[in-house]
Each structure stands twice: as structure tokens, then as C-alpha cells.
Amino acid sequence: MIQTETTPNPNALKFISENKFSEIGAKEFQKKDIKPNTNNLIKNLLEFDGVELILVSDNFISVKKFENAKWDSLKPSIISEINDHLVKNKKPILLKNSEILEKPKKESNLIVEEIKKVLDSKIRPAVAKDGGDIKFISFQEGTVKVELKGSCSGCPSSIVTLKNGVQNLLRHYIKEVKNVEAI
């Protein structure tokens, strides 16, 4: 059974299931990301008129709609599509052996490793509760660059979250961090 949950972004909803959607963590998809080998559920959701992007995570799918689209018409179609997929498929959408899995970048910098550790343990779980994800991009001259995904991308409160939440936490745990920016 699929349940929905609102997010701080009025244009995004979380679709939650007891079933596992991903074995590889959160992965965002946009219409331009559709390839011939893209999972059918991902393709079908992105083909709905009004859907801008989806974020597939462990136990939820976050759907972000365009501003002019209405949840009244989208929400039942999305729930139906996810339920249909779950009835027909017993495996997660994103599998460990999937071609979607990205190879991790080799970065040996200890500060970068500490930043990633704080992001993964303290920040990512909080952001996931709101239907989003945060991805480390770089650290240079005291500035951490991150990418906000899912319902967090384009959310009106994401700048406040970034500065008051992410930046303050990283600065608390890692003295070399002075600033956090979203790309």
C-alpha cells in the first residue's frame, strides 16, 4: 500500500511503501535522463504530464511536479502506477548490479571524507524525511558545494535549510568548513 506525505516543497510529494525501491541509495531522474534501459516505472512516472523529476530512495519515491500541474489529477495516477509496478515486480527498482549505479569518485582528502561522513549520518536522513537528498560535489577553500535533489531542488525553504541546517552542522563538526553552497 502506498502512502503519501507532504514535503516542505509544495510542488513535491513523497510516495512511501513498505517495499524497498532502491538497493543503491537515492537517485534522481529527469525526463532527459530516460534511456532505453531505464526502468519502466521510472519511464512511466516521468511521462505523466506535469511531472518534472522523481527521486527514487530506499523506501520512498519523491515526485516533483511543475508549478502549473495539479496534485488532484497527478497523485491518483502516480499511486496507481507504483502499486501496479509493485504487484508485478517483487524486486527493488534500482538494483546493486544495475547500470544506473555510478562509480564512486576516488577522493582521499581527509576533510572531504569527514564532510561526507557528516552528510551521510546527520544530514541525509533529515533531508530524506522531506522527500529529498543531498549530494556532495566538492570542497575548496572552505566552501562545500552540494546538490539538492528530489523535493529539495527548487524548494522555497531549501536556502534556509542549507544555511541554518547543513552549513551550521558542517561548521560545528569540521572547523575547515566556512560556507556551504548549492549548485
Per-residue pLDDT band for 98 (boundaries 50, 70, 90) equals: low
Amino acid at 134: I
What residues contact residue 118 under an 8 Å CB cut-off, 6+ apart?
A: 169, 170, 173, 174
pLDDT recorded at residue 2: 92
Q: Is residue 114 pLDDT above 80, yes or no?
A: yes
The dihedral of CA 26, 111, 181, 179: what is its sign? Answer: positive
pLDDT recorded at residue 154: 77
Phi, psi of 173, rounded to the nearest 5 degrees = -90, -25
Q: pLDDT tens digits for 24-41?
A: 888 999 888 777 777 889
pLDDT recorded at residue 155: 79
The structural domains of the chain, ordered by start, are 3-88 (3.30.1370.70), 110-182 (3.30.300.130)
